[in-house]
Structure 1
């Protein structure tokens, strides 16, 4: 933009300067002709011409050396052939002339001023001076091509200034702007390479004075952000401690109470309370998992993760639930090892919630299938069920927190797919909700780049 502005300003100025210079040069050359004519008139007034020419004699012709001869004899160019003068009396009798002006026709009227002539193949600019007191008419001329040489030299000088100056100016402006923006580039790199959870203030060597308030404001803002994240981490830990322990203790007391002799009504009530506490515990676990993912503390440092191993661990963890539900579960792994760069805890949460979500939407004796397969540089994870599925127009809304489909038969709290989406974001993965191959049910496809995990601190918010 700066270069375009400079070009837009300098080019019109250069054109105006060129035209103005041509005008001034023409006026200067015309002034030189007039001055030369008046100088010759002064010499004539002092008797120079009348002493040379006697009555009845031929006019005096001043010889002019040709261009070839002057280069041969003088080894320099004098431009004699490109200028000339002519002196005659008021009756039109030639008295004095240069050789190149000897055959120049006399003017029709004796009026002082400038005229343009075409004579012997050349254009001439001629100034006529009529001196009635001295009885002479003086004509001083200069060839147009000589004038054009001067204007051409001026145009070349001006043009070279633009042709050389503008590219050079563009390079210098580009260098200056790049140097001026270098601190911003270094600031960007410092922010991009900043470790999650770091409280080290950003330091920029040789930062310009204009950027120092920005760096200070960023450091202050990052400090407040880390304080907020630290409070969230502590809150998650406190909630986990304060809620899990009482819930576990209450579950134990209920189990103890139910082991004794109870009436059918009391046992039913205790069983209902136990089921409610189990659901509450599950909801708390989901909320804590989502909070840990949002705070970026569950994943830890990115490392090489074997998805097959993670899937086996999740299946082992869910084995009791799968057995009680009566769901026909199948795991298809096409390779013994499928490794990606990522966060093991987040991938485990993704698999766990996908499988649980499928189980909650299939009927009794339904089918859930998990498959892992590599395609090029990606690992494709699919969970397929034969439940009622999700209509295409509602699939975009199921990732919202606390959203539950009416077909859900489980005790979920609408957070499973939110956790799945957040875990996918941490790995730069894509999620697709498709129809099951059988035509009934849902297929959830997650495509994970083998090295596509992103830093938690820089990942987009799941909202």
Structure 2
């Protein structure tokens, strides 16, 4: 851009300067001719007029050095053949002339001014001076090629300035810009190598004065961001601590109650309560694990996770809930192992919330939920299909928002399930689609996780 600006400015200026130089040079050379004619006129009137007026003997011819002789001079070229003059009387008779202009045609009228002639294969610029007081006419001539040599030399000088100066200027401008942007490169490297959670301010040695406000503003923004993250981490830890304590206390009381003498029906209720609290405790641990994963995700700490094993663990965890709900659940595993690089707790949360979300939307009678896994090309494909009312296409983009609940949802959820699913998918670069089922009723959730390991298929199913 800098080079384009320079070219856009300097080239028109160079052309304008070239045109002005040609004009000024032509005027200067014309002025020299006129001045030479007037000088010769003064010299003639002060002693030379009587000597040259000899019409009976013909005009005096001033010899000049021939062009060939000029070329033989190594260090003293005079260019005599390129200039000349004539001296005429008032009747146009030649009295004095240089040899190279002896045959130059006379003008039709003797009027002072400039004329152009073509004489002996050359163009000539001739100035005629008519001195009516002294009855003398002086004609000074100069060859056009001599003038062209001068203007050519000037144009070459101007052209070389542009031809050499612009590339050189481009190189210097590029070097200057690259040198000026080095602090930005160091700033980029400092940001890229910055450890998550670091509060060390960024320091740039020999940073230009213009960049220092940017560095200061960036350090202030990073400090505010770390403060916000620290408050969030403290809040999560406090919530976990406050939830763990009452849960542990309730579990102890339940264990004490079950150890004593209780009614037969009451023991079943206590067992269910204990199971529910255990699931709640497990859920809290999973949420804390997700919080830790969020911190590790920035560092890229992944491991190999077998989706089939994770799915079996999730199904075992949800088995009591599936049994109580009466939902017909099927797990179709097309792979004996389906390994991806990722975070086990996040993938478990993804599967758990997909299954629970489907369970909350199927009919209470004859509800069906199907989980399937397979490897397609290099990707792992997870599908959860239910026979619930489904979600209209125009509302599918909004169901991933936090605390969003569909009117057809049952249970006492908080609308966080699909939001957790979306975040877990984002951590793995996965794609989520909400589609229609083959039967036309219900919802089919398809999750595609890239870079699954191509292991041998087993083709066995569970129902």
Determine the C-alpha separation between the residues in 2 that align with 1:4 and 1:281.
67
Q: CA deviation at 1:65?
A: 4.3
- 1:458 aligns with none
CA distance, structure 1, for counterparts of residue 29 and residue 139 of structure 2: 15
Q: Could you say which residue in structure 2 is the equivalent of 1:260?
A: 262
Structure 1 regions of 5+ residues with no counterpart? 452-463
Aligned partners of 1:249, 1:346: CA distance in 2, in Å? 28
Conserved? CA contact 1:358–1:368, under 8 Å: no
- Paired with 2:265 and 2:344, the residues of 1 have a C-alpha distance of 47
The offset of 1:374, in angstroms, is 4.5
Deviations 1:376-411 (A, max 9, x none): 4x4433333333322111110000111112222343
- Give 1:133 shift: 4.1
In the other structure, the counterpart of 1:404 is: 405
The 1-side partners of 2:193 and 2:445 are apart by 34
Query: What SS does the corresponding residue of 1:390 show, helix, strand or coil?
Result: coil
Structure 2 residue aligned with 1:416: 417
For 1:140-188, what per-residue CA distance to the aligned partner results, in whole angstroms no more than 9, with x for missing partners?
A: 0112232223222222222222233223222322221222122122212
Report the aligned-residue RMSD: 3.5
Please give the alpha-carbon distance, in whole angstroms, between the structure 1 residues aligned to 2:314 and 2:272. 28
Aligned to 1:375: 377
**Aligned match of 1:109:** 109
Size of the alignment, in residue pairs?
Answer: 446
Kept in 2, the 8 Å contact 1:380–1:446? The answer is yes
Per-residue deviation, 1:365: 4.6
Q: Does 2:16 align with 1:16?
A: yes
Partner of 1:216: 216
Counterpart residue number, 2:123: 123
Query: Any idea what SS the aligned residue of 1:47 has?
Result: helix
The answer to whether the 8 A contact 2:54-2:95 is kept is no
- Secondary structure of the residue aligned to 2:57 is coil
Cα offset, 1:58, TM superposition? 1.6
Label 1:116 to 1:324 Cα distance change in 2 as closer, same or farther (>3 A).
same
Q: Determine the C-alpha separation between the residues in 2 that align with 1:437 and 1:248.
A: 46
Q: Contact 1:84 / 1:142 at 8 angstroms: preserved in 2?
A: yes
Deviation for aligned residue 1:347: 2.7
Structure 2 spans left out of the alignment, 5+ residues: 453-463
Q: Which moved more, 1:66-75 or 1:34-43?
A: 66-75
Q: Kindly tell me: are residues 298 and 6 of structure 1, through their superposed partners in 2, closer, same or farther at Cα, counting changes over 3 Å?
A: closer
Secondary structure at 1:296 match in 2: helix
Measured in 2, the distance between the counterparts of 1:272 and 1:125 equals 120
Change (3 A) 1:187 1:75: closer
Any idea what SS the aligned residue of 1:444 has?
A: strand
CA-to-aligned-CA distance 1:178-226 (integer Å, 9 cap, x gap): 2212212221232233222122322323222222232233223322322
Q: Structure 1's 281 and 303: CA in aligned 2 closer, same or farther, altered over 3 A?
A: closer
SS, match of residue 414 in structure 2: coil
